[in-house]
Amino acid sequence: MNRTTICIIGVYFGKLPEYINLWLKSCSYNPDIDFIIFGDNKIDNLPPNVKHIPMTLQEMKKLADEKLGLDTALYKPYKCCDFKVVYGNIFEDYLSGYDFWGHCDFDLIFGDIRGFITENILSEYDKILSLGHLSLYRNTKEVNNRYKLFGSMHDYKTVFENEAIYGFDEWSGIYRLYNFNNFKIYKKLVFADISSAYKRFKLAFCLNNYNKQLFYWQNGKVFRAYYKHKKCFKDEYIYIHFKKRDFKETISEDCNAFYIGPGGFTAKPDAELPSVNTIKEINPYNARAEINERIKYYTGDYLKYIYYRLRDKYLR
């Protein structure tokens, strides 16, 4: 039986993050998945399974206009997020022969993708994972054109022809559309999505956070180690997403294991689980600080909610 083929697309314009070599390293540990990076940047020392296609934002807009039959508002790099769900159409010439295509972010480190996305899952679902950081779609004409269907909060023409950011790749867009039309999505939370509400690394969408916890990458896999009842446990994830934190690469790309915390990347001894002292040093817990951070974050979140409600009211 032939293995399902997968190609994951990343689009990035401008200066790449300082830790791009660690991102590429995590790609290299998924050798049976291909990655294509489109952008106006220069990337050296690509792993065998990663390809870079030079492209300016203007060239991508021209290609998107041609493939989608629209005059898109693709004028700023961040607007690409709304177009992630149609990468299968925009970049179809590069995806011929693949069973699945996907889109991904760069503010993350991949773990063992095939360890979580099994052949059984690939055979059962047309869309795998629910957020914009990493999602896969079955590479068929029918699936690639589902974005045109009713069910998202904003129709695709509104999204693609206006410069505003709609989050079409996530909850209010393609996720809502799939649920409305009863299309099956593999929704299991197998990723470590770090909350942007706190300085400390805590999981979003999850009640199971611990005062003593630390995330790390080791030999191609992403883990969280945590202490509970004075014992150390660990969980594995398909990737860790740390949400645009301005990390500097502080370790060699030859390192086979590293911690990932609010201060960036720290080399980790290969065989050891982190001690309590290591966790306190790299991902310290401060109850008072977290209360203040939560109040500040959710106040800002409410104001953004009001802004988007008003924007949507007057754009219609």
Per-residue pLDDT tens digits for 227-241: 999 999 999 999 999
Same domain, 111 and 29: yes
Q: What is the mean pLDDT of residues 129-139?
A: 96
Q: How many helices (H) and strands (E) does the chain have?
A: 11, 15
pLDDT at 247: 87
Same domain, 220 and 146: no
Residue 89 belongs to a domain with what CATH number?
3.90.550
Reported as a single tens digit per residue, the pLDDT across 172-190 is 999 999 999 999 999 999 9
Structural domain boundaries enclosing 217: 192-285
pLDDT at 261: 96
Same domain, 260 and 178: no
pLDDT at 297: 78
From 186, 206, 236, the end of a domain falls on: 186
- Report if residue 125 sits inside a domain: yes
In this model, does residue 214 exceed pLDDT 70?
A: yes
Q: CA-CA distance, 192 to 190, in Å (whole number)? A: 7
Provide the domain count of the chain: 2
For residue 114, which of 193, 33, 36, 205 has the smallest C-alpha distance? 33
pLDDT at 308: 52
User: What single DSSP character describes residue 28?
Assistant: H
Question: In which band, very low, low, confident or very high, does the pLDDT at 314 lie, cut at 50, 70 and 90?
Answer: low
Strands 100-104 and 6-12: parallel
Q: CA-CA distance, 64 to 72, in Å (whole number)? A: 7
- Report if residue 315 sits inside a domain: no
- Report if residue 310 sits inside a domain: no
- Report if residue 308 sits inside a domain: no
pLDDT at 148: 98
Check the CA dihedral 230-116-91-177 and report its sign. Answer: negative
Rounded to whole angstroms, what are the CA distances from 293 to 236, 243, 296? 27, 16, 5
